[in-house]
Structure 1
Amino acid sequence: MRLENKTVIITGGGTGIGFACAERFHKEGARLALFGRRKEVLRAAAKRLGPDVLAVPGDITREDDVDMLVELTLKQFGRIDVLVNNAGTLGGWPLHETSSDAWDEVLNTNLRGLFLLTRRVLQQMVKQQSGSIVHVSSILGLVAVPQTGAYNVSKGALNQLCRSIAVEYGPMNIRSNAICPGMVETDMTEALRANEDMMTDWKEHYYPMRRFARPEEVANACLFLASDESSFITGTLLPVDGGFTAM
C-alpha cells in the first residue's frame, strides 16, 4: 500500500498508460481523480476501479476545466499528493508540411495544457509543502526522429519544464520527475503498430529487448516516482524504452 491515503490526479486516465497507472495506484491505496476528454470512456474506467474513484471529464487545454478538476478533487479528498501528467496527443508530418493548426494542437495539449494543470496543482502543493509530479514524456524528448517535429519539441520542452519545477520547488518538498517511454502497446499507437513490416524492423534494429512496452510496465515506473520510495529523486528523466536510447 505504497500510496495509502494519498490523493492522485491522473490525466488521460481512461485508457492506455493513464488507466494502467490508475489500476496500479488504486491497488496501492491511492484515492484517485481521473481526468480526460472522452466522458463515457472515463466514467467506465472509474466504474471498473470502484465507487471511490472520481471521474472528471474535461479538456486540459481549457483553464475552466482544469480549475474544475482541482476544485472537485479538493472538495472530495481535501488534498493533492501526486499529479500524473499523462494526457497527450501524437502528430506526424514533414515539418515543411505541418500546418499552424496542427502544430498548435500538439503543443497546446502536450505542453500548454500540462502547464495549466501543473501550475494549478502546484498552488495546492505549496500550501501542503509536499507533493510528487510525474510527467509522462517520451524518448522523443531525448532524441529526435523524422516527421514528428511538433511532438519532439513538445516532449523536449516538457523535460525542461520537469527540471525547472524540480529546482524551483525542491525546497518545498515537491518533487518533479519524467518518464520517457518508447513505443507502448496502447490504443494511441495502434494505427502505427498496424504496419507489421515497419514494426518488425524497429524491434530488430532499435529495441534491444526486441519488443515494445506494455502499459503496466510504464505504470510501474510511474508508481516508483510517485511513491516515497523515490523520496530523494527529483529532476530525473527516466527512459522506459527497452534500451532504445542506449543504442
Structure 2
Amino acid sequence: MSLNVFSLKGQRALVTGGGTGIGLGISKAIIEAGAKVVITGRREEVLKEAVAQLGENATYRVNDITIRTEIPALVESIETKEGPIDILVNNAGIHHKAWAQDTTDDDFERIVQTNLISVFSLTRECAKYMLKRKKGSVIMIGSMAGLFGIDRVIAYSASKTALTGLVNGLTAEYAKDNVRVNAIAPGWITSNMFLNAVNKDQARKQQITNRIAMDHFGTTEDIGNAAVFLSSEGAKYITGVILPVDGGATVNF
C-alpha cells in the first residue's frame, strides 16, 4: 500500500470554526496532507491570525453559520472564486453548561440551531455540488456527549447525538453518488478553553482522566489526522461511521 492514498493533494476543504482549537488543528493537518483550506468563523481577527499560521494554502471567510440565509451564497462564492469544495468539515459549534432543570427553551434552541440545523443546511448546500461531481467527503464533529451521558450539558448532548442520525440518513442518500459522510467524536482534547474549564474544577478533571483508558488528554493533531484519513482515498470505502478519537474513553470502565 502506498502512503499516497492518504494524500489530499489537489483538493480543497471548507472547515467551519477553523480559526481556533480543534478546527485549527484539522485545518493544519489537511494542509500538511496537500490540500488547500478555507476556514470560516465570526471573528475576522482570529481568522487572519489563523491564516498567518497556516500559510499560503489557507484563506478565510467571515461567516456566522447560524445565519442560514447566507449559506448558499457562501458555498457558491467559494465554488466559483476558489474552486470545488471536495471536503467539508462541520466543526463550528457552541456549548452550554447547565443542569437540565436550569436550561431554558431558548438555551436549548440556540445550541440545536448552531450544532445541528446549521450543520445540515451547510452540508445540503455543499452536497449540491458534490453530488453533481459524484465525489466528496463530509465530516461532522461529534462529541463524547453524543455517545454516553454527561451531566450539565443536556442541550449539547442532544445536538451531538442527533448528528448520528444525520450521518446515517445522509449516508443512505449520498453513498450511491460517492459522497461519503462520517463523523469524528473527539474525546477530551487539550485546548485553552478546555484546560481553563477543567483546571477550575479539579474533581471533574480527575473524573475525566479516570475515564480515559490511555490516561491522558488528546491533541488537536489527533483529530486532524483522523480528518485527513476519513477524507483520503485510504478511506474510500468508509461511510456512515462515527469514529471516536478518545484514548479509549468510550469503552473504559
TM over 0.5: yes
- Structure 2 residue runs of 5 or longer lacking an equivalent are none
TM-score between both structures, scaled by the size of structure 2: 0.93
- Out of 17, 26, 33, the position equivalent to 1:28 is 33
* 1:68-109 Cα distance to aligned partner (Å, 9 max, x none): 321221123321110011111111111111012211111111
- 1:65 aligned onto 2:70: yes
Residue correspondences, number: 246
Partner of 2:146: 141
Give me the whole-angstrom Cα distance separating, in 2, the residues matched to 1:113 and 1:83. Answer: 13
- 1:48 aligned onto 2:53: yes
* 1:34-64 Cα distance to aligned partner (Å, 9 max, x none): 1111111012111222234220011111124
Partner of 1:118: 123
Give me the whole-angstrom Cα distance separating, in 2, the residues matched to 1:241 and 1:108. Answer: 26
Give me the whole-angstrom Cα distance separating, in 1, the residues matched to 2:222 and 2:204. Answer: 23
After superposition, the CA RMSD in angstroms is 1.4
Runs of 4+ with deviation above 3 angstroms: none
Give me the whole-angstrom Cα distance separating, in 2, the residues matched to 1:228 and 1:212. Answer: 29
TM-score between both structures, scaled by the size of structure 1: 0.95
Give me the whole-angstrom Cα distance separating, in 1, the residues matched to 2:159 and 2:36. Answer: 30
The residue type paired with residue 202 of structure 1 is I
Give me the whole-angstrom Cα distance separating, in 1, the residues matched to 2:40 and 2:132. Answer: 23
- 1:225 aligned onto 2:193: no
Partner of 1:245: 250
- 1:176 aligned onto 2:181: yes
- 1:18 aligned onto 2:15: no
The residue type paired with residue 206 of structure 2 is T
* 1:177-232 Cα distance to aligned partner (Å, 9 max, x none): 001111111233233222234312321x2111111111111111111111111000
Is 1:31–1:77's contact at 8 Å kept on the other side of the alignment? Answer: no
Is 1:59–1:66's contact at 8 Å kept on the other side of the alignment? Answer: no
Is 2:33–2:228's contact at 8 Å kept on the other side of the alignment? Answer: no
Percentage of matched positions with identical amino acids: 35
Is 2:18–2:24's contact at 8 Å kept on the other side of the alignment? Answer: yes
